[in-house]
A and B are shown apart, each in its own frame.
Chain A
Amino acid sequence: MFRELIGGLRITMRNMLSKPVTIQYPEEQRPVPPRARGRHILHRYDNGLEKCIGCELCAGACPVGCIYVLAAANDPAHPVSPGERYAARYEINLVRCIYCGYCAEACPTEAITLGPRLDLADYKRERLVATKEDLLESWPGFRPTAAAPGRPDPAPRSELAAPSPTAPVARSATDTA
């Protein structure tokens, strides 16, 4: 009996002297798997034009109906996207979304993908409706009004840039559902 008791004490002492495995979450974060399905990203082409052409196929594919797209015609002088139309409004209800990725499957231009960002909690439910400004990718080479439409970006998903840090933009709490 005593041998077993001592054995138990030895195990706990060994644990005590070894390094804790805790990851102190907000400061340290574990790398997310490359194809994790977190918050959505709306992508741009290298020349800064938005990939989204406002076709609403993502909204149609969405099993829970959490995507709202309002399309508008492009101004030929200052196009937002390469096609005829672009998404004037693009909103995703992140609380309703089940992160299935069907929107990314349905998208003909690979404009929407699910990104690596997983910390989606917020204190206000209204802020959990992500607008186009929240989702849209912006990188250093970003130009808001490109003169010519560029070629489609063949980059695989794993090489896509990280989502933009959330800017304190005003978010609408409108009829996305």
Chain B
Amino acid sequence: MIAVVGWGAVVGGLQPLVAAIGSAGGVNVPLTFLIALVKGVLILFVLLTTAAYLVLAERKVSARIQLRLGPNRVGPAGLLQPAADAVKLIFKEASAPEGRDRFLFELAPALAAAMALFAFATIPINQTICIGGHGGAGPLSQTCPGGLALHWDLAHLNIGLLFILAITSVGVYSIFLGGWASNSKYALLGALRSSAQLISYEMAVSFAVIGPVLLAGSLDLEKVVHAQHSLWFVFLQPLAFLLYLTAGLAETNRLPFDLPEAEGELGAGYHTEMAGMRFGMYFVGEYINMVTVAAIATTLFLGGWMAPVFFLPNWLGPIWFFAKVGLLIFIMLWVRWTYPRLRYDRLMQLGWKVLLPLGLANIAVTAVFVALR
């Protein structure tokens, strides 16, 4: 509920504000608002559906890796399983512990889903398209004199990447507050682990994304993609790409870094006490975060909407984009069902003693390279 309201706030507030500040004068505010509303609803719908079907994909992939079939009873080939799961979650009794913090206990799951949705707002799915006007938007200009520039992200920020990093940091609160408000030792332990883990891996994520940003010279995600038109950054920054994927797995609390959940040790970690749709929102948040991490990796390293081979048409932008996202998500699932969970001290060691120094070294080398260019 709060997630939807919060999303509405972004749709209603952020976009016209940005539009008004960004291009003073000549902005058709009601039209901009309408477009933002449509885009917001579309993204909401697509992301929630994707999250639901990612659960099915995860179960199918895990089943095939373990030589099983996976869910195949609800609908053809199990394709209606997400609907059945959703109905089950909604109608399940949402039991709650006695001594909980009532406000935070309700807020935390909503925050998890809402922040996961927010983070997607600045990711460009395609390049800006010019409707009407003269001259049209060039490949690098994101304005459209005399016409309507149609951006393929919800909130067209020139600090898009910073916005995403900030929002994912807020997402940590949902986990920590959820664990703390539950008044349960397992939830609290899970939340403690998770905050320690997420803070250390957030550093690694930040350092990893600085490489492409240095090369592109902008935090504007659309400009970062344009900077890759000749060569994707994954070839210039392979180390940063691996760092980002590793730290991204830790950021989304997925195996082999799912210590906040750690079923074998902590019940279910921070959401031990969450039942029904409270759990459902954490679940949705986790899977949307997977999409977001994959989408950011696609934007920063895999050339966003650009065709994978030069002779393929670029106007299929969104399809290339989602194909790359899907590939990365598959890799995340594949990794999850291959490796066991790391021990906690090893996890922290990997974060602070391996990923962080590597990230720093990568920044230094990239900076020298950019300075000498």
Binding site for B on A (CB under 8 A): 5, 8-9, 11-13, 15-16, 18-22, 24
Are the CB atoms of B67 and A9 closer together than 8 Å?
Answer: no
Q: Is B310 an interface residue (CB 8 A)?
A: no
Q: Is B90 an interface residue (CB 8 A)?
A: no
| Complexed CA–CA distance, A8 and B67 (Å) | 15
A-B contact pairs, 13 of them (CB 8 A): A5-B339, A8-B338, A9-B335, A11-B338, A12-B337, A15-B65, A15-B66, A20-B63, A20-B68, A20-B69, A21-B67, A22-B68, A22-B69
Contacts of A5 in B (CB 8 A): 339
Residues 80-136 of B contacting A (Cβ, < 8 Å) = none
Contacts of A15 in B (CB 8 A): 64-67
When C-beta atoms are compared, the residue in chain A nearest to B337 turns out to be: A12
Checking B63, B64, B66, B339 against A8 with a beta-carbon cut-off of 8 angstroms, the contacting residue is: B339
A5, A15, A19: most-surrounded residue (chain B CB, <10 A) = A15
Given contacts A15-B64, A16-B61, contact A9 B69 (CB under 8 A): no
Count of residues in B whose CB is under 8 Å from the partner chain: 13
Contacts of B68 in A (CB 8 A): 20-22
Are the CB atoms of A9 and B63 closer together than 8 Å?
Answer: no
Binding site for A on B (CB under 8 A): 61, 63-69, 334-335, 337-339
| Complexed CA–CA distance, A20 and B70 (Å) | 10
Are the CB atoms of A20 and B338 closer together than 8 Å?
Answer: no
| Complexed CA–CA distance, A175 and B184 (Å) | 51
Given contacts A8-B339, A9-B335, A9-B338, contact A16 B69 (CB under 8 A): no
Distance from B255 Cβ to chain A, minimum over Cβ atoms (Å): 12
Checking B61, B64, B66, B334 against A9 with a beta-carbon cut-off of 8 angstroms, the contacting residue is: B334
| Complexed CA–CA distance, A53 and B68 (Å) | 49
| Complexed CA–CA distance, A84 and B300 (Å) | 92
Are the CB atoms of A13 and B334 closer together than 8 Å?
Answer: yes
Distance from B70 Cβ to chain A, minimum over Cβ atoms (Å): 8
B63, B65, B334, B338: most-surrounded residue (chain A CB, <10 A) = B338
Contacts of A13 in B (CB 8 A): 334
When C-beta atoms are compared, the residue in chain B nearest to A18 turns out to be: B67
Distance from B360 Cβ to chain A, minimum over Cβ atoms (Å): 21
Q: 6 more A-B contacts (CB under 8 A) besides A9-B338, A21-B67, A22-B69?
A: A12-B337, A12-B338, A16-B61, A20-B64, A20-B68, A21-B68
Contacts of B69 in A (CB 8 A): 20, 22, 24
Query: Which 9 pairs, one residue from A and one from B, show the smallest C-beta to C-beta distance?
Result: A22-B69, A12-B338, A16-B64, A12-B65, A8-B338, A21-B67, A20-B69, A15-B65, A20-B67
Are the CB atoms of B65 and A16 closer together than 8 Å?
Answer: yes
| Complexed CA–CA distance, A19 and B66 (Å) | 10
| Complexed CA–CA distance, A176 and B339 (Å) | 55
Contacts of B334 in A (CB 8 A): 9, 12-13, 16
When C-beta atoms are compared, the residue in chain B nearest to A8 turns out to be: B338
| Complexed CA–CA distance, A12 and B64 (Å) | 9
Contacts of A11 in B (CB 8 A): 338
Distance from A122 Cβ to chain B, minimum over Cβ atoms (Å): 22
Distance from B59 Cβ to chain A, minimum over Cβ atoms (Å): 13
| Complexed CA–CA distance, A18 and B66 (Å) | 10
| Complexed CA–CA distance, A24 and B77 (Å) | 13
Contacts of A24 in B (CB 8 A): 69
Distance from A161 Cβ to chain B, minimum over Cβ atoms (Å): 33
When C-beta atoms are compared, the residue in chain A nearest to B64 turns out to be: A16
| Complexed CA–CA distance, A162 and B352 (Å) | 67
